């Protein structure tokens, strides 16, 4: 969702879909543990880094599951410790 939301045109959407097809094998839904971690991230990063609710859920999911986060919006996530970020440039 994070990648698709940032698309500005059909070419970028096509690039995102190809990236997802090659790099993302399953969908993970937030549970209580992920939600709690996201709330802590919001407390720490919402004001200072512009982290939003959905971004916090995505980052918390990646950390909890030991996965990488692919994003073209690096600035919102750069200060989150233990988050492995894959920069996506459409």
Largest CA distance in the chain: 36
Q: pTM (2 decimals)?
A: 0.73
Which stretches of the chain drop beneath a pLDDT of 70? Answer: 2, 90
The pLDDT, as a whole number, for residue 12 is 93
Q: How many folded domains does the chain comprise?
A: 1
Helix (H, G, I), strand (E, B) or coil at 78: coil
Helix (H, G, I), strand (E, B) or coil at 15: helix
The pLDDT, as a whole number, for residue 71 is 84
The pLDDT, as a whole number, for residue 19 is 85
Distance CA 56, CA 13 (A): 23
Helix (H, G, I), strand (E, B) or coil at 70: strand
The pLDDT, as a whole number, for residue 90 is 65
CATH number at residue 35: 3.40.50.1010
DSSP secondary structure string for all residues of 5-49? HT--SHHHHHHHHHHHHHH--------HHHHHHHHHHHHHHHHHH
Give the structural domain span for 6: 2-87
């Amino acid at each position: 969702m994070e990648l698709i939301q940032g698309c500005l045109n059909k070419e970028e959407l096509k690039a995102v879909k190809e990236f997802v097809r090659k790099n993302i094998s399953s969908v993970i839904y937030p549970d209580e543990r992920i939600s709690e971690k996201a709330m802590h991230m919001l407390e720490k990063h919402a004001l200072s880094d512009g982290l939003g609710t959905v971004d916090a859920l995505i980052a918390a999911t990646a950390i909890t599951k030991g996965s990488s986060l692919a994003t073209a919006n690096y600035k919102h996530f750069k200060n989150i410790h233990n988050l492995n970020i894959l920069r996506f440039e459409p």
